[in-house]
Amino acid sequence: MIRLQNIEKVYRTDTIETLALNSVSLDVAKGEFLSIMGPSGCGKSTLLNIMGLLDVPSKGSIKIADRVTENLNDKQLAQFRNKTLGFIFQSYHLINDLQVLDNVELPLLYRDTTAKERKMLATEALEKVGLANRVKHFPTQLSGGQRQRVAIARAIVGKPDIILADEPTGNLDSAMGNEIMDILINLNRNEGTTIVMVTHDENMAHKTHRLVRLFDGSQVQ
């Protein structure tokens, strides 16, 4: 589903060059739930961003859903992300000015859908994360766990093949973290969604199919 080959990422400023990723190669199979671990600054998030086509590698090639993505322009990239990828972030990144339902509908805005379809799909996604009764709330009226569930609903509303989760439980206590984890596991099991998750939490990582460890930009396991 995802194939990374010899990915290198270098950050350059006027005086220093930082090697964030050093020749990382990774294959993620369809339907796999993979977790990436490693200390802070080891390049986990950079790797995830590259997989999510939010960042470009300095070297190496990426293939996602059998598609080479290097030569896509801004619009094509946007469309590709919209159809194939769903994101979950540590700090949720919900739009506080919009109600829960509008937040969840967001990915559908960039597709050919009617308002009615959007509402239906978003409600469906919210039901899956158990928040069907919170559609009219604003994100600030929800707890951290609930917010992350809204974020998951937003990530799955467009039925993407791949979900990329950057420390989805990082801001939550363990009970809430487990809840979120259960939702992700069910999603992977029942819908066959491929999930790549970056985490600091060994317990969470062990619940996934496979664990990849990074250290100083290199893959160590």
Partner 1 sequence: MLKNYFKIAIAVLRRRKFFTFISLFGISFTLTILMVLTAFIDKVVGDNYPDKKRDRLLYINRIQQKGKDNMTSGTLSYYFLSHYTGMMKTPVKVAISSGFSGTNTYVNNKKIAVSYKYTNAEFWDVMDYDFTEGRPFNKQQVDNADHVAIISEDMKRQYFGDVDLVVGKYIEADNVSYRVLGVVKNVPVTSYMFFSDIYLPYTVSKADYKSKSYGGSYMGVLLAASKDDVPKMQTEYENLMKRVPVESKDYQHLYSHAKSFFTSYVDTGNEDTSGVFIVITAISIFVFIFMLLPTLNLVNINITRIMERSSEIGVRKAFGASSKTLVYQFIVENLILTLLGGIIGTLLSVIALCAINSADLIANLELTINFTVLFIALLVCLVFGFLSGVYPAWRMSKLNVVTALKAQ
Residues found near partner 1 in the complex (CB under 8 A) = 49, 52, 54-55, 74-75, 77-79, 81-83, 85-87, 89, 91, 93-95, 97-98, 102, 105-107, 109-111, 115, 154, 158
Side by side, the strands of the sheet bearing 210-215 are 85-88, 162-166, 194-198, 33-37, 210-215, 218-219
How many CB atoms sit inside 10 A of residue 171's CB?
16
Element housing 28 (H / E): strand 17-28
Question: Which of residues 33 and 92 has its CB atom nearest to partner 1 in the complex?
Answer: 92
- Secondary structure (3-state) at 98: coil
Phi/psi of residue 197, nearest 5 degrees: -125, 130
Question: Which of residues 94 and 172 has its CB atom nearest to partner 1 in the complex?
Answer: 94
Question: What does R_g of the chain's alpha carbons equal in angstroms?
Answer: 17
- Secondary structure (3-state) at 196: strand
Shortest CB 17 distance to partner 1, Å: 18
Shortest CB 11 distance to partner 1, Å: 11
Shortest CB 180 distance to partner 1, Å: 18
Question: Which of residues 41 and 174 has its CB atom nearest to partner 1 in the complex?
Answer: 41
Shortest CB 132 distance to partner 1, Å: 21
Question: Which of residues 54 and 176 has its CB atom nearest to partner 1 in the complex?
Answer: 54
